[in-house]
């Protein structure tokens, strides 16, 4: 990795990355000319390390002690500030690119178990029969019990053509199942689209990566080139965890001609900026309905907030996650990275989304028409539930009191399966017709067109 220092503003909602760091040399504090209090604190830290190293009942790994100490320090700031070892830093960079070598599954840690959220359509894992909710217990024979999420991801990623064996435990199966998979190039498809009916388009943005704006403009061009002029658009940002700040700004700019898109305000002047919209020769003047839910976070909340404040789109769904902070990633020596929070962001009207979220103009809970029960998001974890989360405003001004949600419930409903299939699987008109939020958005757009024709 080049030693040149780089900065990348990122808004990704990263859950479960392992963090570790090691400072080489025992006298690292001696060069500090800062205040005495800092010096004394570092001296105490050094004394503790020395005492534990020499006197603890069992032998200790000094490197590991220092790593854990720095883990605790950085985690105490807020949930999104992290020190990244080279492997985790590399994975974070890969996540913003357009493709990677791997097997094609989306995974998470649930109660310490490495769990498949969904296989990605057309990938080795999908073709082999890996399913959502499979628990991966081994990768190439190595237990995942003590693995961090980034470690597991790194073990499963690799060059195209190389084999990897994953062992899964599946509900209803008496024995673990081995899948021997041949890695392939996995495209990270952030934009999907189709026509809901002639004149009405649907675009889903799953995350904000380097090519998202380009892919969005291509999708809009395709929808606008149909035989029937585009009369309305459904922009789906549900379960979009965020991504690159510049892409959120550019996506918003596609639909706005002027005014503020977002402002970020930090403690330092260089971290305080206002981002403005620009007039574009490609006009997209049709009405829009923007879908959000509790899984819409960070960059997706910037887009929803900008369109809402400018009255450019009607926001429909349920209140978003509420991550209103901006992280920068600094490149450190030896391949390490430091991701830390530098600012809060505010919508064009000056609203802080932090720990509050985007409140929809029309609240509609998700329910799939082939199910009896609705998707109750009240049990899903949000930003305000995370330990050490930032408050909405730096000094508490104008902050509204909100009740804390419960943590995520054990029981997952069928609607979650629908959501993951929609996000990572094929996009079909049949699937969208069972989604009440999409259908409600379409009804609103059709009604608007009818009303405009009657009273225009």
Distance CA 191, CA 218 (A): 9
pLDDT in tens, 333-388: 888 888 889 999 999 999 998 989 999 999 999 885 555 444 445 455 666 766 66
> If you count them, how many residues does the chain have?
456
CATH C-level class of 191-455: alpha beta
Q: Specify which of 11-15, 103-107, 300-304 reaches the highest per-range mean pLDDT.
A: 300-304
Is the pLDDT confidence value at 399 over 60?
no
Is the pLDDT confidence value at 241 over 60?
yes
How far CA 405 is from CA of 119, 272, 374, 378, 379, in Å, comes to 29, 31, 18, 6, 6
The reply to whether CATH 2.30.180.10 applies to domain 99-187 is: no
More confident residue, 58 or 408: 58
Q: Which of 296, 433, 318 is nearest to 375 (CA)?
A: 318
pLDDT in tens, 26-39: 233 334 444 688 88
Task: Indicate the domain borders of the chain.
Answer: 19-84, 99-187, 191-455
SS3 label, residue 316: strand
Of the candidates 184, 239, 253, 309, the residue annotated as catalytic is: 309
Active site residue 81: no
pLDDT value, residue 40: 87
Active site residue 404: no
Active site residue 263: no
Q: Name the helix (H) or strand (E) containing 197.
A: strand 191-197
- Look-up of token digits 């934009």: 191
Give residues with Cβ within 8 angstroms of 64, minimum separation 6: none
Of the candidates 10, 323, 382, 384, the residue annotated as catalytic is: 323
Of the candidates 81, 118, 252, 298, the residue annotated as catalytic is: 298
> What percent of the chain shows pLDDT beyond 90?
47
What value does the mean pLDDT take over residues 441-454? 88
What value does the mean pLDDT take over residues 258-271? 95
Per-residue b or e along 142-168, where b marks 16 or more CB atoms closer than 10 Å to that residue's CB: eebeebbbbbbbbbbbeeeeeebebbb
Give residues with Cβ within 8 angstroms of 250, minimum separation 6: 212, 213
């Amino acid at each position: 990795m080049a030693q040149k220092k780089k900065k990348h503003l990122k808004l990704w909602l990263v859950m479960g990355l392992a963090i570790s760091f090691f400072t080489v040399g025992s006298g690292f504090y001696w060069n500090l000319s800062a205040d005495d209090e800092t010096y004394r604190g570092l001296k105490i830290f050094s004394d503790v390390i020395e005492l534990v190293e020499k006197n603890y009942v069992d032998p200790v790994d000094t490197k590991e002690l220092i790593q854990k100490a720095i883990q605790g320090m950085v985690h105490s700031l807020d949930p999104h500030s992290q020190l990244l070892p080279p492997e985790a830093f590399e994975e974070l960079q890969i996540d913003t690119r357009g493709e990677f070598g791997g097997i094609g599954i989306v995974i998470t840690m649930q109660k310490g178990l490495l769990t498949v959220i969904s296989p990605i359509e057309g990938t080795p894992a999908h073709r082999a029969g890996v399913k959502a909710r499979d628990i991966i217990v081994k990768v190439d024979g190595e237990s995942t019990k003590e693995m961090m999420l980034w470690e597991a991801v790194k073990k499963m990623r690799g060059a195209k053509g190389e084999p990897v064996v994953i062992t899964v435990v599946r509900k209803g199966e008496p024995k673990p199942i081995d899948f021997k998979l041949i890695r392939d190039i996995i495209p990270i498809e952030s934009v999907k689209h189709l026509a809901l009916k002639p004149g009405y388009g649907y675009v889903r943005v799953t995350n904000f990566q380097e090519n998202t704006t380009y892919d969005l403009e291509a999708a809009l061009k395709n929808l606008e080139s149909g035989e029937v002029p585009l009369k309305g658009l459904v922009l789906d940002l549900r379960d979009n965890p965020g991504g690159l700040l510049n892409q959120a700004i550019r996506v918003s700019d596609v639909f706005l001609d002027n005014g503020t898109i977002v402002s970020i305000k930090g403690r330092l002047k260089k971290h305080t900026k206002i981002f403005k919209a620009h007039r574009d020769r490609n006009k997209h003047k049709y009405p829009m309905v923007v879908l959000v839910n509790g899984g819409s976070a960070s960059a997706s909340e910037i887009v929803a907030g900008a369109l809402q404040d400018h009255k450019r789109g009607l926001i429909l769904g349920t209140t978003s996650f509420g991550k209103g902070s901006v992280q920068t990633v600094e490149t450190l020596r030896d391949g390490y990275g430091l991701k830390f929070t530098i600012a809060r962001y505010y919508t064009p009207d000056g609203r802080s989304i932090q720990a509050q979220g985007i409140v929809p103009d029309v609240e509609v809970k998700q329910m799939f028409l082939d199910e009896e029960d609705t998707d109750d998001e009240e049990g899903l974890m949000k930003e305000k539930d995370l330990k050490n989360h930032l408050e909405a405003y730096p000094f508490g001004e104008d902050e509204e009191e909100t009740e804390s949600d419960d943590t995520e419930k054990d029981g997952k409903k069928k609607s979650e399966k629908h959501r993951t299939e929609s996000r990572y699987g094929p996009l079909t008109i049949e699937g969208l017709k069972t989604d009440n939020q999409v259908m409600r958005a379409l009804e609103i757009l059709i009604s608007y067109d009818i009303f405009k024709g009657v009273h225009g």
